Amino acid sequence: MLILNCPYCGVDAEESELSAGGEAHLKRFGPGSSDVEFHDYLFMRENPKGVHFERWRHSNGCGKWFHAVRCTQTLEVFGTYSAQTTEPPKELKDAITAKRPGWTWREYE
Amino acid sequence: MKHYSAFAVAREALRYHTGWERAWRSPEPKKKYDVIIVGAGGHGLATAYYLGKNYGIQNVAVIEKGWLGGGNTGRNTTIIRSNYLQDPSAAIYEKARSLYEDLSQELNYNIMFSPRGVMMLAQTQHEIRGYQRTAHANALQGVQTEWITPERVKELVPIINIDGPRYPVLGALWQERGGTARHDAVAWGYARACSAMGMDIIQQCEVKGVRSENGRVVGVDTTKGSIDCDKLGMVVAGHSGQLAEMAGFRLPLEAIALQALVSEPIKPCMDVVVMANTVHGYMSQSDKGEMVIGGGTDAFNNYTQRGSFHHIEETVRALVETFPMISRLKMLRQWGGIVDMTGDRSPILSKTPLGGCFINCGWGTGGFKSIPGSGWGMAQLMATGHSPLTEAFTLDRFKEGRFIDESVAAGVAH
């Protein structure tokens, strides 16, 4: 079972205590954006076989949303971090690079 | 290809079964084919088969990373039905269901199609309205379904508990002509027929790159070398995103694990397929006597072909309430497959931004039942550039807002 550490309450929460919220760090496009931007925002996901940044909610716990980085090929969890950010923290990115050299995610690497 | 028949069995019995030949050849790839299909699962093989049979295109290779039918074709719960709400879905799934009816005869391979009936239980007021609406829609689409009462449910499935405290059975959508088939045999039967037409099925051959010139596909690079082609069909389910990336375009898909499990074999006790979408579980009994059980998908992206245990627990918990007699059954095997989900939970059968390259993906949790229809439509699309079966399932429907929204149409669970 997937276990993620909630960065807000510090609990190592089991998957059944959490709700998956899909891909993280989406750039939102609304009125005024182009059709392609709006389409990509709504439907196009990175869906990588490898490093995946995603949102989770500690729904049966403290109720807070947070971010997690996971490998979709091995289910390895690289870490979790606050939702109050638009970019993963540097130390986490370094930790992923140590384990998965050459990973990329949109503008991050 | 030697014809399978009762006479052949008798003949071989007299000579110690020395005369059987391999069902399909395993050749090395040629330098060039008219059409390459990537993915030797049910959909890929069916596409190749109908390309040859309906359009005379027989210089075809089906290439496969692993072994034939080893992906989702060998991992599903073998249910066949066509009781969908939206017209394009009903059309392609009903085409598939009707092709399944005489597929054994057509392929000369026993796919063990068993039209035992598929029942979708209504366990909330909302579901009653949803399924009655589907039954009306199906009547207009020419798909034979009916709304049945709880008493009729009990009559058809004596082991069911219709008076559950939390989710009583309030009725059901009944498709008498739905059922199950032997999933591996569908892939094997198509493979044998393709091989007999002179097509090459190349297993253990992974695509590493897609080559193109002037915006048109010219071939693929594989672990068995470069192979040229005029047209390319990508039919790889869970890994469609990776393959599309090689071809230079993206797909609106996410890969998610869907699980199933089977119990120890028991004596025949249930001769229909029962689906309970509110509690997210479905069950049928295989010819071996195992109860074949499926449930919901995990919520997160996953390529590991293994899912979360708590989903199994939730599925079984719900089914035990509906079928109390299964509470003492031991479960024998549990497995997962990677399904490719689109935003509207309907598949994509389409041309792509790369000329000569076609995609068949996004079947999500409901691919097995559609294999013959999907192959039929995909072959027509690849051969002629247009198919009435696939015209609604284009890649650009998301951009244009023409969703085939089965995800909110109830009856999406497979």
DSSP annotation of B403 reads: -
Residue B197 CA: distances (Å) to CA of B41, B50, B375: 18, 11, 16
The number of CA neighbours under 13 Å toward the Cβ of B292 is: 21
Query: What residues have CB less than 8 Å from B283, skipping those under 6 apart?
Result: B270, B273, B274, B291, B292, B293, B294, B319, B323, B326
Tens of pLDDT along B279-301?
A: 888 999 999 999 999 988 888 99
User: Residues of A with CB below 8 A from B241's CB?
Assistant: 47, 49
Confidence of residue B305 (pLDDT cuts 50, 70, 90): confident
User: Which pLDDT band holds residue B175 (cuts at 50, 70, 90)?
Assistant: very high
Does the pLDDT of residue A71 top 80, yes or no? yes
pLDDT at residue A104, as a whole number = 87
pLDDT, residue B409, reads 58
Write phi, then psi, for B204 (nearest 5 degrees). 55, 40
Distance from the Cα of A52 to chain B's closest Cα (Å) equals 8
> Which residues of chain B neighbour A43 with C-beta distances below 8 Å?
252, 342-343, 398
Beta-carbon pairs below 8 A across chains A and B: 53
The predicted model gives A14-41 an average pLDDT of: 93
Nearest CA-CA distance, residue B120 and chain A, Å: 27
- pLDDT tens-place string over residues B123-139: 999 999 999 999 999 99
Whole-number pLDDT of residue A54? 96
Q: Which two tokens stand for residue B29?
A: 């790839």
Chain B within 8 Å of A58 (Cβ-Cβ)? no
In terms of DSSP bridges, do strands A65-71 and A51-57 run parallel, antiparallel, or are they unpaired?
A: antiparallel
A34 touches chain B (CB under 8 A): no
Mean pLDDT of B361-385: 96
Is residue A8 scored above 80 in pLDDT? Answer: yes
Share of chain B above pLDDT 70, in %: 98
B389/B363 Cα distance (integer angstroms): 15
Q: What integer is the mean pLDDT of B345-355?
A: 96
- Residue-wise pLDDT for B219-232, tens only, equals 999 999 999 999 99
> What token pair was written down for B151?
């008493």
Residues of B in contact with A44 (CB under 8 A): 250, 252
Q: What gap in Å lies between CA B73 and CA B66, rounded to an integer?
A: 12
Average pLDDT (A37-64) is 95
Residue A42 at interface with chain B, using a CB cutoff of 8 Å: yes
Among chain B residues, the shortest Cα distance to A41 is held by B252
Range A21-48 average pLDDT: 93
Whole-number pLDDT of residue B375: 98
Beta strands B348-351 and B357-361 are antiparallel
Taking the C-alpha atoms of residue B371 and residue B223, their distance in angstroms, rounded to an integer, is 27
Interchain pair B299, A20: CB under 8 A: yes
Across the interface, which of A23, A52, A74 has its CB nearest the CB of B304? A74
Q: What percent of chain B has pLDDT over 90?
A: 88
B309, closest residue in chain A (CA to CA)? A1
From A35, A47, A52, residue closest to B253, measured CB to CB:
A47
B238 within 8 A of A31, measured Cβ to Cβ: no
Q: Does the structural domain A3-26+45-99 have CATH classification 3.30.450.20?
A: no
Between CA A55 and CA B300 the distance in angstroms is 10
- B252–A1 C-beta distance less than 8 A: no
Region B398-402 average pLDDT: 91
Tokens, residue B237: 């389910």
Q: B52-96, pLDDT tens digit by residue?
A: 999 999 999 999 999 999 999 999 999 999 999 999 999 999 999
- Residues in B closer than 8 angstroms to A70, CB to CB, are 300
**Angle formed by the axes of helices B42-55 and B183-196, nearest 10°:** 40
Test A43 with B310 for CB contact under 8 angstroms: no
What is the pTM (predicted TM-score) of this model?
A: 0.94
Interchain proximity A2–B300, CB inside 8 Å: yes
What does the pLDDT average to over B395-410?
A: 83
Distance of CA B161 to CAs B55, B94, B281, B305, Å? 50, 30, 15, 33
> What are the extents of the domains in chain A?
3-26+45-99
* Residue B407, pLDDT above cutoff 80: no
Residue B259 has pLDDT above 70, yes or no: yes
What is the reported pLDDT for B414? 46
User: Given the DSSP bridges, would you call strands B60-63 and B200-202 parallel, antiparallel or unpaired?
Assistant: parallel
pLDDT digits (tens, 9 = 90+) for B6-34: 999 999 999 999 999 999 999 999 999 99
Mean pLDDT of B353-360: 97
Instruction: Quote the distance between the C-alpha of residue B382 and its chain's center.
Output: 20
What is the bridge-based pairing of β-strands B225-234 and B357-361? parallel
In order, the DSSP letters of B164-229 are -SSS---EEEEETT-EE--HHHHHHHHHHHHHHTT-EEE-S--EEEEEEETTEEEEEEETTEEEEE
Q: What is the ipTM of this complex?
A: 0.91
Whether residue B110 is predicted with pLDDT greater than 80 in this model: the reply is yes
pLDDT in tens, B370-380: 999 999 999 99
Cβ(B300)–Cβ(A57) below 8 Å: no
Top residue of A26, A40, A45 to mutate, by most chain B CBs within 10 Å, is: A45
For B113-170, the pLDDT digits (tens) are 999 999 999 999 999 999 999 999 999 999 999 999 999 999 999 999 999 888 899 9
Q: Which residues of A touch B250 (CB under 8 A)?
A: 44
- The CA–CA distances, whole Å, from B171 to B143, B153, B295 equal 19, 7, 20
Looking at the complex, report in whole angstroms how far the Cα of residue A77 sits from the nearest Cα belonging to chain B: 12
Q: Give the span between the Cα atoms of B283 and B267, in whole angstroms.
A: 15
Residue A54 touches chain B, beta carbons under 8 Å: yes
- Paired with B284 in beta bridges are B292
Confidence of residue B408 (pLDDT cuts 50, 70, 90): low
Q: Average the pLDDT over A32-51 and give the result.
A: 93
Asked if B300 lies within 8 A of A20 by C-beta distance, the reply is yes
Residues from chain B contacting residue A54 (CB–CB below 8 Å): 300-301
| Residue of A2, A23, A43 with shortest CB distance to B308 | A2
